[in-house]
Amino acid sequence: MPGRLLLTGAASLLFGCGSGSGPAEAPTTAGFDIPSALASVSTTDFDGLGFSAWIGPADLSESDGVPLHAEAADVPRPAASSIKTSYLVELFAARSDALDEATPDAAAVVGNPSHPAIAHFDAETRAEIEAALTTAPTRTVGFHMIRGTGVSNAVYNAAANLTTASLGGPEGLTAKIHARHPGFGGIHSRRYMLAARDVTGDNTATAASLAAVLAAIARGDLPGISPSLHEEIRDVLFLEETEHGAHHFKGGSLNSDPLTRVLSGYYQPAGTPSGDALVYVFMVEIPGPDRIAPGNLDRAAAGERLAELVGALRDAALPPARRALAEGNR
């Protein structure tokens, strides 16, 4: 069984904890060439890049809890919509016997212009949200919140806000997430989606905590969640069938400062035990668009450049991670 390796040099220097977070944290790895793969991705266009990653099988019992690779995995970063995976667990847990029924207090939330869940939307958008969510079944609210297919960005985020409000607001929802599993303690809901990030605080998570939620979903052992409800949750997170198995996914993006992109999910190869699912989380942030060269990019273009970077990091790291799992390097 491989031990924990401390790496220095290009990998740890390229991907530090981000500006204001102290010195770069030496990554740990039990995988094959993952640090070298990450270091092959150029970051020279970015100044002040913050990067976190967690890559490993859903079941770490064979490796003394050590993932294939973890880098700044306990550093809190803006979670954007990737935090919604934990929201989905709590929403479905609270409504497990009523997934086909509307949220009881939906009208009081989305129909109230002064409610903090929707007060930051304009009148036309609030009307759209009210029409989409007032009578929507809980299962539909979950799909809107995670997938956003067929609805506007406002409804996609307002579905998360309805979830948050129905579970006690940001503070109450955070308490429920933390109570679910000790590994989820790095997740903090502090604001409603699309509300200002600098008033009540940003929604943050660590790569390790996001990975813990995904791994528990993949294994099917979320505390207090039945096997059938696990399947409901997986169904919402399912993205596509790939050559590497069923891909369950949740991303996140923010174009306000700090610019943020998150990719998180897991691949479940066909015919393999649930614990063999390959879980990944990649989080990147920079202070603002002026930190992406050339410095005259608008926010949308800067966000696209950052999205390309995190996608390149995932594409570089997952092949050696798969080789490590295939050769039993757990």
Q: Quote the percentage of the chain above a pLDDT of 70.
A: 90
Count CB atoms within 10 A of the CB of residue 150. 10
- The β-bridge partners of 51 are 284
pLDDT digits (tens, 9 = 90+) for 199-250: 999 999 999 999 999 999 999 999 999 999 999 999 999 999 999 999 999 9
Q: How far apart are CA 199 and CA 197, in angstroms?
A: 6
CATH number of 5-294+306-326: 3.40.710.10
- pLDDT band, very low/low/confident/very high, at 295 (cuts 50, 70, 90): confident
What tens digit of pLDDT does each residue of 92-137 get?
Answer: 999 999 999 999 899 999 999 999 999 999 999 999 999 999 999 9
Cα–Cα separations (whole angstroms), residue 3 to 64, 174, 293, 323 = 9, 34, 39, 17
Q: Tell me the pLDDT band of 26, cut-offs 50, 70 and 90.
A: low
Q: Across residues 158-173, what is the average pLDDT?
A: 98
- What confidence score (pLDDT) does residue 298 get? 92
Can you read off the two tokens belonging to residue 111?
Answer: 């129909």
Both tokens of 153, joined, read: 């960005």
Tell me, what's the pLDDT at 31?
A: 65
pTM: 0.91
